[in-house]
Amino acid sequence: MSHDLDTPLVLPSGATLTSRIAKSALSEAIGSQDNAPTPELIRLYDRWAGSGAGLLITGNVMVDRRALGEPGNVAVEDGRHLPLLKEWAAAATAVGAQAWVQLNHPGRQAPKGLNGSHQAVAPSVTSVSGAPGVFGKPRALGREEISGIVARFAAAARTVVEAGFTGVQVHAAHGYLISQFLSPLTNRRTDEWGGTPENRRRFLIEIVRAIRAALGPGIPIGVKLNSADFQRGGMTEDESTEVVLALAAEGIDLLEISGGNYESTVFMGADAAERGEARASTKSREAYFLGYAERVRKAIDDSGTTLPLMVTGGFRTRTGMTEALESGAVDVIGLGRPLILEPDLPRRLIAGTEAALPVTIKKLRIKHLEGMGELMWYGVQLRRIGQGKDPDPERHPLRNVLHYMRTTGLIGKPARRGIA
């Protein structure tokens, strides 16, 4: 069956995506000091609602306000911010797109000092390497605490759907807590939550089951998963494929494929391929993880289950996207940073009036700061859109870094005014 970018997709739950383009999660980090949605965040999604994307996935909504991954995270534990969540959901769904909240817990990837006296937690006592001074030494979670976090994911999912969001995505990639449980590098437990591949994926499966029990069968549940950790001794593609088959058996609605973590940042940077972090075979076909998607698709088909796949990262042309859909390897094309620079890009791609994606940014040209500088550069662009302005690709990246650090409170006091 032929699929183009405007072909609707019916998910296993019965929900329908009106197009095959999704806005993948971007960590907006523009929540309030008490972790609520802000007018800027609501305005940002109001802009994206009419973009032509069939699915909008929010970025990094934490399930515990004592465990934030970065300044400005929204956190949902209960209904205390329900009116603001309703405004956010109404903006995101105003033009008929599906809007899912990405639920997350940072685990050991919680910056030191961000969460007050609360020590970061992890499956085992393993610190993040390569980021001295950023992340502290975590403590290992107890069994009851693990069950409590599973319950937090379900409670947050129930709350955001009550607010009007149409589904949720569980963030199990990029080295956050669920990814830490999946990886043998970070999960060295010998109890029922570790020790074997089946036990390492138990945390993720229990979260999916708890959310399904909380939401019922008709609300979409997605998962974002690493194809691999891209580290020696980490989760391999073989083990990741087994996780995918377990998720397919649980009946989730959409699997988004990514890769890497803060120690191997395959997912970071629009120019990751140029930094040697994407395979040459996938560089030639644009998408970083398309080869893995093809392998997983075959495994899913062979198992007799059904699971729509989404690949994010590396797509740069309309031709590359349509070829990936036509091949059957993927069902949904994920776009992230290009939608920061061009918020209405999906509509133009669908109409055929846009052939290639804008990806060029100004470089800091400071080797050890380039990746973080790029994140901050995009972060400032998000804030501009949230303030009702257009993105400004010509802003110097150093100016953006300083502004980002000021507005998030990393230096000085958080700014309350517009983009400087």
What is the reported pLDDT for 407? 58
At residue 296, the pLDDT reads: 93
The residues, any chain, with a CB within 8 Å of residue 242's CB and separated by 6 or more, are 197, 201
3-state secondary structure of 413: coil
pLDDT at 371 over 60: no
Write out pLDDT tens, residues 303-339.
999 999 999 888 889 999 999 999 999 999 999 999 9
Q: Does the structure show a pLDDT above 60 at 414?
A: no
Whether residue 128 contacts residue 148, with contact meaning beta carbons closer than 8 Å, is answered with no
**CA angle in degrees (0–180, nearest 5) for 331-336-341:** 135
- What average pLDDT score do residues 29-35 get? 95
29 CB neighbour count, 10 Å cutoff: 22
pLDDT in tens, 218-256: 999 999 998 865 555 667 888 999 999 999 999 999 999
**pLDDT, position 373:** 63
Give the domains, in start order, of the chain with CATH numbers: 9-359 (3.20.20.70), 361-420 (no CATH)
Least confident of 37-41, 180-184, 275-279, 350-354: 275-279
**CB proximity list for 52: less than 8 A, separation 6 or greater:** 19, 21, 344, 345, 346, 347, 348, 349, 350
> Quick check: 108 and 135 in contact, CB under 8 A?
yes
Separation CA 157–CA 66 (nearest Å): 18
Alpha-carbon distance of 129 to 105, in angstroms, equals 19
pLDDT on residue 406: 60
pLDDT at 210 over 70: yes
Residue with tokens 């059904």: 306
Instruction: Supply the pLDDT for residue 55.
Output: 98
The pair of structure tokens assigned to 104 is 């997350």
34-38, 42-46, 80-84, 231-235: segment of lowest average pLDDT: 231-235
Write out the two tokens for 203: 């945390």
Residue 306: what pLDDT?
A: 95
pLDDT digits (tens, 9 = 90+) for 145-195: 999 999 999 999 999 999 999 999 999 998 999 999 999 999 999 999 999
Q: Has residue 101 got a pLDDT over 70?
A: yes
- Say what the pTM is: 0.89
- Predicted confidence at residue 261, as pLDDT, reads 46
